[in-house]
Structure 1
Amino acid sequence: MSKVFTIAEGLENLGALRSGGQGSVYKGRRMGPIYSAVKLIPTPIYTENSDDKNYRNFENEVAKLQKVNEVPNPNIVKIISSGLTESGSFPFIEMEFIDGPDLSELLLPPHDKVFTLKEALKVADQLASALAHCHRLGVKHGDLKSNNVKYNLHTGNYVLLDFGLAIMTEEQRRSSMRNAGAVEFMAPEQYDGKMLPQSDIYSYGIILYELLAGEVPFVLKANNEAARNALMLKQMESPVPDLLEKRKTNLPDNWAKDKMAAELKVPDWMLKVVAKCLEKNPADRFADALELYDALSVHQTRMEPIAPVVESDKQYAEIEWSLKLQLIKNQLQDRLISEMILLYNAQPAANLADENKAYYLNDQVKLHHSRLNELLRENGKDEYGRDKDIQAALDKIQETELLAHPSKLYIPKTTLYALLTALGALLFTTIFLWEVYRHNATAIKLMNLFLTIAKSIFGSKK
Structure 2
Amino acid sequence: MDLKSAWILLLAAWLAAPALPRCAQAEETGRIIRGVSAAGMLDGGQARIYREKKSRQKKAVAGFISFLPGYIAVFLGAAGLLFLIKKRIKQARLNASARQGLEAAIKSKIRALALEQTAEKADLGPVGVMFRQHLRLGGDPRVFDTDELPYIAASAVDLASLTQLLTTMSGAGRLRLAKKLFELEEPRKSVNILNAAAISAADSVEGGPEAVILIYDAAGRLDEFIGRYCKALPPKAYSAYAGALMKLNKNSQALRLLKLSQKPPASDLPLIFELHVRLGGFSQAEALLTEVSRIKPVQRGQAAVEENQKFYYSLALVCEEKGAKELARRIYKLFMDTGQQYRTVTENYNNLAKVADQAAIAERKQAPAPVAEPVPSPAPALSDRLAREEYVAQMYREEKAREREREEMIKRADVGKMERPAPGTIPPVPSPSLKKGRLDGKYELKGEIGAGGMGIVYEGWDHSLGRKVAIKKMRSELKAYPKERERFLREAAMVARLTHPYIVGIHAIIEENGEVYLVFDYIEGKTLSAVIAEKGQLPLKDCKSILGYVCLAVNYAHQQKIIHRDLKPANIIVDTNNFAKVMDFGLSSELGDSLTRLTRQTVVGTPIYMAPEQYRGITRPETDIYALGICFYEMLTGDVPFSGMDTQAAKDRKDYKDVSLILPWLPGEVDKVISKALESDPRERFGDAMRFYQAIDSL
* Structure having the higher Rg: 2
Taking structure 1 as the reference length, the TM-score comes to 0.50
Q: Which has the higher contact order (CA 8 A, sep 6+)?
A: 1
Taking structure 2 as the reference length, the TM-score comes to 0.34
More helix by share: 2
